[in-house]
Amino acid sequence: MYPSTVISKSEYHEVTPTCSALFLCSQSAVAARKIVTHELVDYIETTIEYRRFRQIASTWIPLPLKHMICSIVLLKTLLVKMTTFAKPFTSSSIVLTGCLSLLLSATSPITSSQDADAIRTLVEAYPEYLIPSKKQNILLWKDGTEMVFDDGTAKADYEDALNRASLKDQMSTPYSCRWCDGPPALNDSPGRMRNEAFFRKMYGDNPERVKANLVPVEWESGKVVWFTKINGAAEALKRVRHEINGLPNDIQCYVCRPLGTFSWRNIAGTGRISMHRFGAAIDFRLPEAVYRYWRWDVQFPEDVPTYPESILRDLKLSQIVSAFEEHGFIWGGKWHHYDTMHFEYRPELTGYSNHDSTLVKHTHHLPEISLSEYSFK
């Protein structure tokens, strides 16, 4: 049997109130130092919360969190000192385990600097709906809704992350607005992970609400596409059109045949929502050589596609992509699971804010076309 160790009050005099409270609870229990088993200590060391604090402690420790980190370290010391072969499920063990649970639950929302930057980027990208929050790990909406940024859920694999993406997952893969100098790495597909709750709240959780926010955007040769006005998305698309109008005709023709914007559907072959569902994406019938979609190039959905590097040698296409990216759109051709026809409005990934740009007004008016007359594809 391990020796019973007396823990002096002075030994933990400088720790945070949380750890001090834990000490007081253990002192009030008659056999507190005899109730925690080695199995419990091992369990603590394998929990997500504990490993997360170990990582933070070794890489990034803001001064306000210094004592909290110390509390975790001292808590482990406390548990080890109190370890014995005694039965773990006494009334005293319940008190101590409860204190441990409270400590872990109270500290788990601590946000890393990278996460804090990502939250700030979201707020800056969607200023009409999001505001800064004083709470860590929280994305705050102007109506008071709070969304957890990092839900702490471990994903089994990339497909699982696509299906259950948290806000952190959504922001986890950087999108580069530089033209690609080579094919994306396996599963390097910035923007494919989407937190569905976020976009449903932003754009609408039913077709009627989404349609109410669609507005006409004039495209090439008098064609009109309908796009969401939420957060300036339609205005951004108008700016894209203005930029493309300044390019040579042989480049403009790359996007002269829009295939559709709004369509209340899931992504083909999945149960995940498409950004077309929100009227925040647009597809084009590109020239044959660069009109590529990964599902067309594999025999089975689980097959790994071979990225068609030939599209990266098309400098005309690169100018089209650049015009979209400059105004907050990402291109599906930068995904390992490529979708070259696809552009979607994702200002949080491109660093774009519609408040930073000035809308260029067209000198002629849009044709009078009602929403009911437009064919949603």
Share of the chain above pLDDT 90, in %: 60
- Looking at the predicted structure, is the pLDDT value of residue 292 above 60? yes
Beta-bridge partner residues of 226? 216
> What are the residue ranges spanned by the domains of the chain?
10-107, 178-373
Comparing CA positions, the residue from 205, 202, 195, 194 lying closest to residue 230 is 202
* Mean pLDDT of all residues belonging to the chain: 76
Give 179-232 pLDDT, tens digit per residue. 999 999 999 999 999 999 999 999 999 999 999 999 999 998 789 999 999 999
Q: How far is CA 222 from CA 140, 245, 253, 279, in A?
A: 40, 13, 14, 20
| CA 305-309-315 angle, 5° bins | 140
The residue that leads in pLDDT, 76 or 259, is 259
Residue 5 pLDDT > 70: no
Residue 191's contacts (CB-CB under 8 Å, 6 or more residues apart) are: 173, 175, 330, 335, 344, 346, 349
158, burial (CB in 10 Å: exposed 0-12, middle 13-18, buried 19+)? middle
Q: Identify the CATH class of 178-373.
A: alpha beta
- 97-127: per-residue pLDDT in tens? 454 444 444 444 456 899 999 999 999 999 9
Check whether 66 has a pLDDT greater than 80. no
CA distance 316 to 249: 11
The stretch 137-145 carries a mean pLDDT of 98
Could you give the dihedral angle defined by the CA atoms of residues 223, 335, 355 and 282, in that order, rounded to the nearest 10 degrees?
20
End-to-end CA distance of the chain: 73
pLDDT at 111 (0 to 100): 64
Q: Please provide residue 35's backbone torsions phi and psi, each rounded to the nearest 5 degrees.
A: -115, -10
CB 196: neighbour CB atoms within 10 A? 15
Number of neighbouring beta carbons within 10 Å of residue 99: 19
Digit-coded pLDDT (tens) for 331-367: 999 999 999 999 999 999 998 765 444 333 333 333 3
**CA 323 → CA 56, 117, 239, 330, distances in Å?**
40, 26, 9, 10
- Work out the pLDDT band at 161, boundaries 50, 70, 90: very high
The CA distance from 155 to 143, in Å, is 30
CA dist 351 and 64 (Å) reads 29
Q: How many CB atoms lie within 10 A of CB 70?
A: 17
